[in-house]
Structure 1
């Protein structure tokens, strides 16, 4: 009986396994990067809310009237250096997060977002995870 030629078998097997393996590895890396970004945005929103409470909710601003919202609480109360100290991961790759405060009916909402963030594997996720944001509410 004639023996079959086995040359190239390892290369073929590697090509069959390598693509799914590397795709899985990049997907895990991408989801981890997204999770760290979301946690950093939550931390930045909390730090912004804390700074707003310290500076806006003083008796001099609210007039000692319970249940009133300080009308002057519209800007951000963290400097760029304080924002970078609160969430240093968000500044990786030259990106800059944004922090905004909006007034609602019974709460002020502090929102942190990362507008330039994109997933590394858009083939898998599409644009569903691009531009993440996190917010926290401060009731009054």
Structure 2
């Protein structure tokens, strides 16, 4: 019986296994990065709402005036960096915005990350490339 030539079989098997393996590894890395970004945005929105309540809403309500003009961002750049260090280490642009709905007794703070991009083009959708977090606090 003649022995078959087995040279190159390991290379072909590696190619068959490597493509799905590396795709899975990069997908896990990409979604992990997205999860960290979302958690950082949630923490930033929470801290922004808290700072706004303490700095503007509480004195306005104690004075009996309308707090509807309280739409400032009361967090400094150093405080934002301490709250969400991952966003600042990646040099992505961060734009927290504060919006107050007139006629309601709630404060809504939205933190958006406009410069975030997924690494794998498979996930390039509007949902993943523009993460944002919103915190609403009734007062």
Relative to the length of structure 1, the TM-score reads 0.90
User: Is the Cα contact below 8 Å between 2:117 and 2:124 reproduced in 1?
Assistant: no
Q: Report the Cα distance in structure 1 between the residues aligned to 2:90 and 2:30, rounded to whole angstroms.
A: 15
SS at 1:138 equivalent: strand
SS at 2:90 equivalent: helix
Specify every segment of 5 or more residues in structure 1 that has no aligned partner in the other structure, as ranges. none
Report the more deviating stretch, 15-24 or 88-97. Answer: 88-97
Specify every segment of 5 or more residues in structure 2 that has no aligned partner in the other structure, as ranges. none
Alignment partner of 1:126 is 2:105 = no
Distance 1:96 1:55, change over 3 A: same
SS at 1:99 equivalent: strand
Equivalent residue, structure 2, for 1:62: 61
Distance 1:57 1:10, change over 3 A: same
Report the more deviating stretch, 11-20 or 82-91. Answer: 82-91
Q: Report the Cα distance in structure 1 between the residues aligned to 2:24 and 2:40, rounded to whole angstroms.
A: 24
Equivalent residue, structure 2, for 1:74: 71
Equivalent residue, structure 1, for 2:13: 13
Matches within 5 A, 1:43-122: 43-59=43-59, 61-65=60-64, 69-104=66-101, 105-122=104-121
Aligned residues: 136
**Cα deviations across residues 6-50 of structure 1 (Å, max 9, x unaligned)?**
000000000000000000000001111111110000000011011
Q: CA RMSD in A?
A: 1.5
Alignment partner of 1:38 is 2:38 = yes
**Cα deviations across residues 83-123 of structure 1 (Å, max 9, x unaligned)?**
11111101122112111111123312100111000111122
